[in-house]
Amino acid sequence: MPLAQTATTVPVVVDNALCITNKGCTVCVDVCPLDVLRIVETDDGTKTAYMKYDECWYCMPCEANCPTNAVIVNLTYLLK
């Protein structure tokens, strides 16, 4: 499985303004069946979710279960 060297946002995009990982939320990480999402602490001390591995199956439980709608899964044209 290829490792992402930096936080990647494709195909899963997390809106940091809506994300509440600072309040202890880990729903997107918990529901991902492939375990590709992680939470990282940024330089300013805030936490955010991101894709550690670019192996998304577009199954979308991260988007469907996010309590603040901060997670968006960008479906490719062929899957729409």
Which has the closest alpha carbon to 37: 48, 22, 53? 53
- Residue 47 and residue 19: Cα distance in Å, rounded? 9
Q: What is the pLDDT along the chain (80 residues), one digit of tens a residue?
A: 556 565 544 688 899 899 999 999 999 999 999 999 999 988 888 898 988 888 888 899 999 999 999 999 988 766 55
* 12-74 CATH pick, 2.30.30, 1.10.287, 3.10.50, 3.30.70: 3.30.70
Residue 67 has what pLDDT? Answer: 96
Phi-psi region of 11 (alpha: psi -120 to 50; beta: other; left: phi over 0): alpha
Domain ranges of the chain: 12-74
Which has the closest alpha carbon to 13: 39, 43, 51? 51
The answer to whether the CB of 60 falls within 8 A of the CB of 78 is: no
